[in-house]
C-alpha cells in the first residue's frame, strides 16, 4: 500500500508541477494544504458563451491513495445549479465513475475512468459539462439509491433544465453574480 501511495503522490506532484509550468485556460489548481498532495483546490471559470460565463466556481478534488487506478471525487464548494451536479456539489460525469462495466448498463466502459486521465482532462471534462449538460443522466444511479433526497434534487434540476429553461437560466445567472462577488 505504501508503494502505491508513494507512486500516486509522485504522479500528483508531477501533474501539479506541469499545470504550474503550462497553465490551462479556464481553470486554476493548487493544493488545499501543502502537506497533502491528495486534496486539490480548483477554480473553474465559467466557459464563454454559456450560462456560467464569467463565474468563478471553486471545487475540491480528492484523490484516492491508489490514483490513477481509481478516479478522484470532485465536489463544488461554490453553490452550483446543474443537472449533473448533486445538491451537495458532487460532480457526476462518466470519467469520474469507477473503471470497468457500468452495473446499470448506461455507460460504456470506455466512457468511465481510465488511468490515462489527468487533473487537466478531468477539469476540461467538467468545463465541457458546464457547456453541455447531460440531461439524459441527471445523477449517478448508485448515489441516487443511497441518497434519495439528493437524487430528487437532481431530478428537479433536470426537469427544470428541460421544461423551464428561463427559470434555470435565472438561477445560474444568480450563481454567476454571487461567485463574482466572492472575489
> Rounded to 5 degrees, what are φ and ψ at 171?
-65, -45
DSSP assignment letter at 46: P
CB-based contacts of 181, cutoff 8 Å, min separation 6: none
148 classed as catalytic:
no
Three cell numbers at 183? 472575489
59, 92, 127, 129: the active-site residue:
92
CB-based contacts of 26, cutoff 8 Å, min separation 6: 44, 45, 47, 123, 124, 127
Active-site residues, by number, are: 92
Amino acid at each position: 500500500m505504501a508503494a502505491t501511495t508513494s507512486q500516486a503522490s509522485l504522479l500528483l506532484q508531477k501533474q501539479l508541477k506541469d499545470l504550474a509550468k503550462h497553465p490551462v485556460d479556464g481553470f486554476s489548481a493548487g493544493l488545499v494544504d501543502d502537506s497533502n498532495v491528495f486534496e486539490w483546490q480548483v477554480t473553474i471559470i465559467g466557459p464563454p458563451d454559456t450560462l456560467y460565463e464569467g463565474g468563478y466556481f471553486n471545487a475540491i478534488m480528492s484523490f484516492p491513495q491508489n490514483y490513477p487506478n481509481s478516479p478522484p471525487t470532485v465536489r463544488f464548494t461554490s453553490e452550483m445549479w446543474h443537472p449533473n451536479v448533486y445538491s451537495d456539489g458532487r460532480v457526476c460525469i462518466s470519467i469520474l465513475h469507477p473503471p470497468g462495466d457500468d452495473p446499470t448498463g448506461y455507460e460504456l466502459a470506455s466512457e468511465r475512468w481510465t488511468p490515462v486521465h489527468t487533473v487537466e482532462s478531468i477539469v476540461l471534462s467538467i468545463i465541457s459539462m458546464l457547456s453541455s449538460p447531460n440531461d439524459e443522466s441527471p445523477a449517478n444511479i448508485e448515489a441516487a439509491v443511497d441518497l434519495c433526497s439528493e437524487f430528487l434534487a437532481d431530478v428537479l434540476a433536470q426537469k427544470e433544465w428541460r421544461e423551464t429553461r428561463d427559470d434555470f437560466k435565472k438561477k445560474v445567472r444568480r450563481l454567476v453574480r454571487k461567485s463574482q462577488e466572492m472575489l
